[in-house]
Chains A and B, each alone.
Chain A
Amino acid sequence: MSSDQDKLIAESVEKALQGDMDAINNIEDRVTRSKAKAALVKAKREAKAAVAEETPRAEKSKAEEAPQAEQTFAAQVAVALEKKFPGSLDTEDVNGHIQMKGEQWYEAAQYLRDNPDFLFDSLQCVTGYDYGTSEDLEVRYNLHSMTHHHAIEIRIKIDRNDSKIPSVEQVWRIGDWFERETYDMYGIEFVGHSNMTRILCPEDWAGWPLRKDYETQEMYHGIVVPKVKDGWE
């Protein structure tokens, strides 16, 4: 009985891959149906993995044929940045974001905002990032242009111990609070910021909460911070 069961599963998975799910749904016996579904999910994952291998090959081939022609938008911004500030880009591969060095970030930010064909006038989001307990930190800026409706993400790696990065508070006014929050959570110092203090945690809070190696402090002004479990559970 199991052989035709597998046949039934195999062909219903084929049909499901083409997209019509009811082939699997109307199998009466519950066990085979769940087996069929599992097989379908496995098949899908293999299909995706196979697709994933081809794309880099495809991309590489595409890059060789027409390196300049229809690059992604991020690549154009990267090229423009490299031309304006030689040496400011960290790595060359641009898949959706630009990796930059921190030194010329303030001038690059101003350039990105004032350049007529970029016009990134709204800083959407500043995200602090921690690669691991002893690796380095990173700040990710999502920029967006209200007029051209395009967006870009810029990442800047910072060393963990002396984490300094130029502040873009003068370029986008909202940077003021975003950077204070990133400072509050990760301890990244934004050089040139007007009021570099904590914004969410109290001033006398110990440690940088979102770093991976953060331990909660025991007491705060005489109040026990961690959960006192005895007597409860």
Chain B
Amino acid sequence: MTAPAPLLSAFRQAFSEAWASGAGLLLPLGFFAGTATLVPFTLGGEADLLSRVGPGILWLALALSSMVTLERVFQADLQDGALDLWLQDTGSISLVAAIKTLTHWLVSGFPLVLMTPLIGFMLGVPAEKMIPAMLGYAMGGLVFFLWGGVAAALSASVARGGLLIALIALPLYVPALIFGVQMVDAGVDSPSFLFLCACTLFALGVAPAAMGAALRLAAE
């Protein structure tokens, strides 16, 4: 199970699952563009406000997409019995869970990074902030999806865990959020960037084990 082959096929399965649930990449792109579109309405469209607030709101969109995407992933595994199959070999369910969340990040979170230049341009973000912003969204997104995965695994055995996931995940998101936002302003050579890296590494180190434990519990 620690051989690459099973993990690769876990990736393939998760990828086709994420892809099959809609029109592939179109959907996440549409989602981020859609959220970016909603924002100005809620702010009344004062231009100066927008360029200050816009990038922050995209962080919210990212957090949202991680929760909406992951809500069902583990619950479905539990209900259709696929979780039992993963568990039956003593190998590492943690790794499989990590692969699954990372795959979903790739399909549903990473597109924001690709769209950052476009949306940022529309929101009037200065060009020199684009690279830090993209880096921030990429790493922050990773953290969001990993902790979101933990929350989803924890609430997998609750009938409909939507808001519960949100409630569990939000506090876990905060550190990455703070440093991510700061980093976009302060640039890649700031301490915020180092802290963001630390957040990411920490999530990468801890979240898989937590997911694994939560999933074992859910299958009981």
Do A and B come from the same complex? Answer: no
Q: Which A residues are closer than 8 A to B by beta carbons?
A: none
Q: Which B residues are closer than 8 A to A by beta carbons?
A: none
